[in-house]
Chains A and B, each alone.
Chain A
């Protein structure tokens, strides 16, 4: 890639980090954080974005970032009071900045009217703080203004007389008189005179002081601006006079000082004498001081005598004391390489399983050295797999960070004051899971505010604070990640949910449903089809879509709602999409894998518990309740007639938003972790099959898509019933 294009990508990546930093800083401030470092970090974020935008000439971004930065600087310096209103504006500005960054990334360079409006607000804020933000003072220019006019009016001079007398400060800042003279000599024919008039007797010489001055006669095609530019960095640290010489070149005021000789000394001696010298730093007048003196060693003596006491060693070490190396803590790796590694480890796991099976088949004793070695190999393989998976793991922070903005927007749209509380942002899960969490979380949080939270009036009437709370939390629980979205709103209006479900033909009007079953109705496809159902469903986004995307990740979603207290949606997801804990079963000679997370229990159906509903539809009574009994062999088309229930094993599973069913299989082979292989890579999606895996015998086994199987059978059940 073109190196600049690569840096541009880096810039946009870094922008995302800065935007996240900006937002979390502003939110912390909103929460009362007044740590100067927080304000500084916020300022720095915008400042950095502006800096990078400048490098790539992203004008719209630069303009907005500049105004934003100015306002933040006012805030940082205390001239602009940090009030709730100011922070709200800053947060909106952060959103606009994020949009501008993304627009710039996409190559758009138009002006966002929102940006213009907000820029005006920010300017008003900065202005009100008593400072004009009157644009940029270009401090690169102020050194050379008036001379230019005079210069043009006068007949062109043929040369300049430059008198230059460094002050001590010039050397203290590591500037070098000799380098300035070298620079000057490049502008034309230079004759340099060293003025040692101020040099005190040796005994009085202060090694830190500056005594020397130079007069340079410069002939050539140059101008005063260019000459003064040479001294740009030392402005104020030296006396400088630049006088044009008209007509014929002025006679050198004194015998020539050989500049080239001086420069030769500088380049030979500078490294030893001044900059790298182990004392006194920029030695007064540096190597140039040697020039007028016949014997350099004479100068050195007093310098050495007056050498400042060495700085206490402790100080330098103290410097090291608070150093904390952060470099090398992380490396950036191409995702493709990680995925290749994960694939290979998957192969390793399969091969190890194949080997183990072969060894078993060979009839070796479990205690034999080979079998024991194989156990160790299995352990090791598992550890390698876990470690490799951990490479792809990332904190959920990246997706949680997008939510505050959403909350602000939905809060503004609905007119409900909302506070978002996030917990467990550092909880790690596979990168792909994180990426695919954004959409369902967005829908759920929008629903929580729009439909979960009551209006401020209703809240007041219920004795609740006007500000609603939406909580987003992540945690690890038994090898899975659990994410909760909860609100302190009114809870699910069960009567209304039920009547909608009846209205939409999802349940019969006579259906007797538990509270839990009613709550779960909202996950049903077809529950929310239109926006007028504004009680629970979102704008065209039904909870069934949310549930499906969570299930597509191998996850489950449940709801727990308490009238008047609010609702909690709990999602449980696998930490990685690459492996799955499965129950290996046989069906009509085929080996299949059922995800263990869906299985509640396994049971041996008794004849008296199984009831036919006509056709092939059957239900099984489990602890007094009836659940559909689904023959997996038939559902997948492996056999035309169902298996006799008593000759198989039933897996009681929970799918469809908590709905239960029993899957009838021929036999259970055991439990094991399997590596998930895509069927779509070389084929396509197959109904009833979630993916494939490769078992110990080297053959492909299909992983059941339990929800599809249940949904299909349910449709048949309804037809039958």
Chain B
């Protein structure tokens, strides 16, 4: 069975870009529009990897990562942060919250897939 990747991003454009890149690489893609939606999808889909944006309405990426890491059922899922943030502070906050790794937008599809393979068993 192919690996399921949950992508959490409020931008439809980014969600579609991610889906295109990941589906091409043979992943099964499930999507959410913000952190809260992401937590819902997480319950239903049991993804092996999560790729999340940081800036999102309702619940941002930091909050989402903290929630996932605080949930005994899902805390072991690798989470890659996908963001245009270029300052170290954002990256560090994401890491403090428990991000496994990161991808800088605009992402290169090959690097994205590579990063996912790096963190997923």
Q: Is there a contact between chains A and B in the complex with CB atoms less than 8 Å apart?
A: yes
Q: Does A204 contact B (CB under 8 A)?
A: no
Cα distance, A41 to B60, chains bound together (Å):
12
CB distance from A287 to the nearest CB of B (A): 9
Given A47-B84, A54-B106, A275-B77, A325–B40 Cβ distance below 8 Å? yes
Task: Give the interface residue-count category, chain B.
Answer: 35 or more
CB <8 Å contact, B118 and A51: no
Chain B residue nearest to A283 in the complex (CB)? B76
B78 partner residues in chain A, CB cutoff 8 A: 174-176
Identity of the chain B residue whose Cβ is nearest the Cβ of A47 in the assembled complex:
B55
Residues in A lying within 8 Å of B, measured CB to CB: 3-4, 6-7, 10-11, 13-14, 37, 40-41, 43-44, 47-48, 50-52, 54-55, 57, 136-140, 142, 172-176, 178-179, 183, 230, 232-233, 236-237, 266-267, 270-271, 274-282, 310-311, 315-316, 319-320, 322-327
B20→A3 contact, CB < 8 A: yes
B13, A11: Cβ atoms closer than 8 Å: yes
- Bound together, the chains give a CA A278 to CA B74 distance in angstroms of 9
What number of residue pairs across chains A and B have CB atoms under 8 A from each other? Answer: 149
Interface string of B95-114 (1 = CB under 8 A from A): 10011111011110000000
With A48-B10, A51-B105 known, 15 other A-B pairs at CB within 8 A are A11-B13, A14-B12, A37-B57, A51-B13, A51-B14, A52-B11, A52-B13, A139-B86, A139-B104, A142-B88, A173-B95, A178-B121, A179-B119, A311-B72, A320-B43
Task: For B70, list chain A residues within 8 Å (CB).
Answer: 311, 315
Q: Are B14's CB and A52's CB within 8 A?
A: yes
Q: With both chains docked as a complex, state the minimum distance between the C-beta of A67 and any C-beta of chain B, in angstroms.
A: 13
Mark interface residues in B60-93 (1 if CB within 8 Å of A CB, else 0): 0000000101111101111100001011100100
The CB with the most chain A CB atoms within 10 A, among B13, B102, B105, B119, is that of B13
Among B95, B105, B119, point to the contact of A54 (Cβ < 8 A). B105
Q: Pick the contact of B11: A48, A57, A236, A326 (CB < 8 A).
A: A48
List A contacts of B55 (CB < 8 A): 40, 43-44, 47-48
Q: How far is the CB of A32 from chain B (nearest CB, A)?
A: 22
Cα(A4)–Cα(B19), bound, Å:
11
| Interface CB pairs A-B, < 8 A, 29 | A6-B16, A7-B13, A10-B12, A11-B13, A14-B11, A44-B55, A44-B57, A55-B105, A137-B86, A137-B87, A139-B87, A139-B104, A173-B98, A173-B100, A174-B77, A175-B78, A175-B100, A176-B78, A176-B119, A178-B121, A233-B102, A266-B121, A271-B121, A282-B75, A310-B72, A311-B70, A322-B36, A325-B37, A327-B33
Instruction: State whether A174 touches B39 (Cβ < 8 A).
Output: no
Look across to chain A and name the residue whose beta carbon is closest to the beta carbon of B74: A281
Residue B25 interfacial (CB < 8 Å)? no
Which one, B67, B84, B107, B121, contacts A179 given CB within 8 A?
B121
Decide: A7 near B20, CB < 8 A? Known: A55-B105, A233-B101, A326-B37: yes
Q: For residue B121, which residues in chain A have a CB less than 8 angstroms away from its CB? A: 176, 178-179, 266-267, 270-271, 275
A181 to chain B, nearest CB (A): 12
Cβ–Cβ contact B86 & A136, under 8 A: yes
Using Cβ atoms and an 8 Å threshold, which residues of chain B touch A139?
86-88, 91, 104
Q: Are A55 and B14 in contact (CB under 8 A)?
A: yes
Q: Which residue of A lies closest to B80 (CB)?
A: A233
Residue from B40, B67, B102 with most neighbouring chain A CB atoms (10 Å): B40
Q: Is the CB of A174 within 8 A of B57?
A: no
Q: Which residues of B have CB within 8 Å of A44? A: 10, 55-57
Q: How far is the CA of A149 from the CA of B83 in the complex (A)?
A: 31
Complex Cα–Cα for A275 and B77 (A): 6
Chain B residues, CB < 8 A from A10 = 12-13, 16
Residues of A within 8 A of B72 (CB): 278-281, 310-311
- Separation of A320 and B91 alpha carbons in the complex (Å): 28
Q: How long is the Cα–Cα vector from A130 to B76 in the complex, in angstroms?
A: 41
Q: How far in angstroms is the closest Cβ of chain B from A234? A: 8
Question: Chain B contacts of A54 at CB under 8 A?
Answer: 84, 105-106
Minimum distance in angstroms from B104 CB to a CB of chain A: 6
Complex contact B36–A278 (CB within 8 A): no
- Nearest Cβ in chain A — how far from B56, in angstroms? 7
A319 engages B39 (CB within 8 Å): yes
Verify A172–B71 contact, CB threshold 8 A: no
Closest chain A CB from B40 CB (angstroms): 5
What chain B residues lie within 8 Å of A48 (beta carbons)?
10-11, 13-14, 55
Query: How many Å from the CB of B42 to the closest CB on chain A?
Result: 10
Known: A43-B55, A47-B84, A183-B118. A172 touches B69 (CB 8 A): yes
Which of the listed residues A4, A138, A323, A324 has the most CB atoms from chain B within 10 Å of its own CB?
Answer: A323
